Structure 1
Amino acid sequence: MAPVAATIEELEKLSEFRAIVGKIYPESDEKLLPWLRARDLDLVKAEQMLRRHIIWRRNNEIDALKTWRSPVVLYPYMQFGFDKANCPIFMLPVGRWDIRSTIESGDMALSLRFVYQALETVVSTAHKAGNSQGIIILDFDGFTYRQIAHRTVLQGFLEVIRVFDANYPELLKSCYVINAPKIFNALFTLIKPVLNSRTLVKIHIFGPNKPKWQEALLKHTESDQLPPFWGGTRPGRDEFCSDDWFMEPLPPNFFKRGSTNVDEFGEEWATIKVPAREKVLFEYVVKAGENSVLKWVFKTDGYDIGFSIYFGEEEDFPVQYQRVNSHEEQEEGFLNLEKPGTYTLEFDNSYSRTRAKTLHYSIGMSES
């Protein structure tokens, strides 16, 4: 690994830190220093962080991930190549991951284990290249409201961020979020408080302006390290290098959009099944001082569905419950969110004993 670049103060603290934790973590200076930096050279806090990390690794059997193989490729990712400083570059096509379906099928534990293995892969790849950091590209193309309009999915997102921040200090050299849709702003608002300031400044967010994010990606990377779609010249089966992704080649149509419903505003419609005797909830949080509008449009195939919006804990209903004949006519509306707090949009099929309902919808919150 490359020699550690540290200030005189850091080196002095590093010597003290080694005397404190050397027996429980007999690693090199390059591996010790990130824990100090993550806690602003506070020896007590850095020791606490490191001890918690050791316990986390043991409790989650992280070392066993070196030989573990997931029974299914939940979330494809790829290590493209290296930047000009020989740090590995990883692509995560988050917008193409069907996170919600995986979580709803009961695979949260498997999902987390898959993600932990990916983080360990970043670490080992960087170390093999003589570095301690990696670059992560998060491509949100294809990401919809459906993915985060689910409490457990949001909890999963936040858990991954907490684990990353608590157990992989200084691993991230830089993170590029590309093709970020408007809904990403809501997601990032939830994520920001979990990340420390040293990590936040390394995150660069770009919308769907392809020339702009391609220019950013190529600023510190040679073009032959990236597939053509992301601005490079790396050879492969197609412009996405679909034959070289994690664990197995991607299917030929992975990056192609399927047939989608688009409303008059250009918003994509999502489709879900609302099971018999169940409800589907979409939560939207309004902060103090925000002026927001919640808009919705939906329809169902063949049968009606219950619909309401409540504020807080089902005591205040700005939109009263009713069974809507959305199979006969498209239902749409908007609501000014005047009070800070949580608004829950509910689709209710609990009255149906055996019949699931197919729901097509486009829901979004925006500033008024």
Structure 2
Amino acid sequence: MAGLGATIEELKKVSEFRAIVGKIYPKPDEKLLMWLRARDLDLVKAEKMLRRHLLWRRNNEIEELQQWRSPKVFFPYVHIGFDKESSPVYLMPIGRWDIRSVIELGDIVPAVRFIYQTLEHIISSTNSKGIYQGTVICDFDGFGYRQIAHRSVLQGMLDILLVFEANYPEVLKVAYVINAPRTFNYLFTLAKPLMNSRTLGKVQIFGPNRQKWQEVLLKYIDADQIPRFWGGTKPGRDEFCSDDWFLEPLPPNYFRRKDSCFDEYGEEWSTIKVPARDKIRFDYVVKPGEDSILKWEFKTEGYDIGFSIYYGDEEYYPVKYQRVNSHLQNHHGFFNADRPGNYTVEFDNTYSRTRAKTLNCSIGLCRISPPDFNFNEISLNEADT
């Protein structure tokens, strides 16, 4: 078990564990060690965890997934190569996975089976080569409020994390989260209590600073193992190596975003003109029983603009009117829209007689119930310190 760096104490525990579970789980020592490490070498807790796993496999017909054919590739991924220690490296473009559409179209059952099949495929293919841990690059570029604002998306992602922690212990060598947007703060805050300390210690998080995360990736993974789109030199039919993706090649421009404006954190923005002597408005409806956050960020080109948010027929103003110097710095904020009804975001250019204003904005109504935390409390460059 040199690849897992087993200690003398761990080797002894593995021998004891095999005497307890060997008949129901006749797997190599490396597999037994993973369950033990997940429970800090506690034989009783490790046995309980393993038995629950075997029951989960039976209830979810995991063994039959080898013959199952998914109706489509829900969440594409690729085995891009190996790191400098010969561990496999997988790239997951999570920011481009449209999880919300999968849920809204009613495809959640086959999508979950697809995820289980993916995990089984990765683990069985690596285990057959005597490798028991792998590296994952999770690219969150493009993951915005549209995904995180949907309760079922959040719950689904957290449920999958729970399944992973309970049934695939210690298969993760290291996870590099790159291009993490602001919305990742919220997701990671919810996910942290579900992850054990060993898993948390393997996660390295980077924001959109490409130079920083590329330096770390190239430190542990050779450039010829990484597609050019992520800073490597790996050859392929295009810079994404789209011919290597799981089950079928991706479209050549899968990772190129067009006809939209994106900020440095990967959030999608709209660009509009506010005519002289005019206003533009965005309406957002909060239904009874919904806990919602209305967030905004905007900037203008060259000149200021009037800004306010009011409720109903100007019944009250959560954000009172002000002239904002958004041409000098971005203006952003959020508040809890806890009253059901219509909220109107208004940009006012009526005071300008001749000059239209170019407005770049990102506005969204997040139908979630936020816990008590600061959206900026998590450093997106933890790995740099």
- The bucket for the TM-score relative to the shorter chain is 0.7 to 0.9
Q: Is the 8 A contact 1:62 1:116 kept in 2?
A: yes
Q: Is the 8 A contact 1:76 1:92 kept in 2?
A: yes
- What residue identity is the alignment partner of 2:364? S
- Structure-1 separation of matches of 2:57 and 2:247: 23
> 1:122 aligns to what?
122
- What residue identity is the alignment partner of 2:91? M
* Unaligned residue ranges in structure 2 (runs of 5+): 271-282, 299-308, 316-330, 343-361, 367-373, 378-385
SS at match of 2:229: helix
Any idea what the Cα deviations from partners look like across 1:82-109, whole Å, max 9, x if unmatched?
A: 1122211111101111110111111111
Q: Is the 8 A contact 2:136 2:176 kept in 1?
A: yes
**How far apart are 1:282 and its partner, in Å?**
6.6
**How far apart are 1:170 and its partner, in Å?**
0.5
Larger radius of gyration: 2
- Aligned CA distance change for structure 1 residues 200 and 147 (closer, same or farther; 3 Å): same
Q: Is the 8 A contact 2:144 2:267 kept in 1?
A: no
SS at match of 1:243: helix
1:98 aligns with 2:75: no
- Structure-1 separation of matches of 2:17 and 2:228: 46
- What residue identity is the alignment partner of 1:174? V
Q: Is the 8 A contact 1:295 1:333 kept in 2?
A: yes
Identity %: 59
- What residue identity is the alignment partner of 2:168? Y
Q: Is the 8 A contact 2:96 2:140 kept in 1?
A: yes
1:228 aligns with 2:228: yes
Q: Is the 8 A contact 2:177 2:206 kept in 1?
A: yes
Q: TM-score, normalised by structure 1?
A: 0.76
**How far apart are 1:118 and its partner, in Å?**
1.4
- Structure-1 separation of matches of 2:4 and 2:375: 46
> 1:362 aligns to what?
364
Q: Is the 8 A contact 2:236 2:242 kept in 1?
A: yes
> Between Structure 1 and Structure 2, how many residues are aligned?
319
**How far apart are 1:345 and its partner, in Å?**
8.1
- Structure-2 separation of matches of 1:57 and 1:179: 34
Any idea what the Cα deviations from partners look like across 1:126-166, whole Å, max 9, x if unmatched?
A: 21332100111110111111101111111100011000000
- Aligned CA distance change for structure 1 residues 321 and 12 (closer, same or farther; 3 Å): farther
Any idea what the Cα deviations from partners look like across 1:243-276, whole Å, max 9, x if unmatched?
A: 110111111221111212569x995248xxx9xx
**How far apart are 1:195 and its partner, in Å?**
0.4
- Structure-1 separation of matches of 2:214 and 2:54: 38
**How far apart are 1:366 and its partner, in Å?**
4.7
- Aligned CA distance change for structure 1 residues 335 and 98 (closer, same or farther; 3 Å): closer
- Structure-2 separation of matches of 1:39 and 1:144: 35
Any idea what the Cα deviations from partners look like across 1:175-216, whole Å, max 9, x if unmatched?
A: 000011111111100011000000001000111111111111
Instruction: Give the 5 Å matches for 1:274-353.
Output: 283=292, 295-296=295-296
Any idea what the Cα deviations from partners look like across 1:270-310, whole Å, max 9, x if unmatched?
A: 8xxx9xxx8996745xxxxxxxxx53489xxxxxxxxxx9x
> 2:305 aligns to what?
none
SS at match of 1:113: helix
- Structure-1 separation of matches of 2:291 and 2:229: 34
> 1:314 aligns to what?
none
1:24 aligns with 2:35: no
- Aligned CA distance change for structure 1 residues 232 and 335 (closer, same or farther; 3 Å): closer
* Unaligned residue ranges in structure 1 (runs of 5+): 285-293, 299-308, 310-318, 325-331, 338-342, 349-359
> 1:287 aligns to what?
none
SS at match of 1:72: coil
Q: Is the 8 A contact 2:292 2:365 kept in 1?
A: no
> 1:8 aligns to what?
8
> 1:186 aligns to what?
186
Moved more, 116-125 or 49-58: 116-125
> 2:303 aligns to what?
none
**How far apart are 1:4 and its partner, in Å?**
5.3
SS at match of 1:204: strand
> 2:239 aligns to what?
239
- Structure-2 separation of matches of 1:93 and 1:344: 34
Q: Is the 8 A contact 1:133 1:172 kept in 2?
A: yes
- Structure-1 separation of matches of 2:253 and 2:341: 32
1:149 aligns with 2:146: no
Q: Is the 8 A contact 1:268 1:362 kept in 2?
A: no
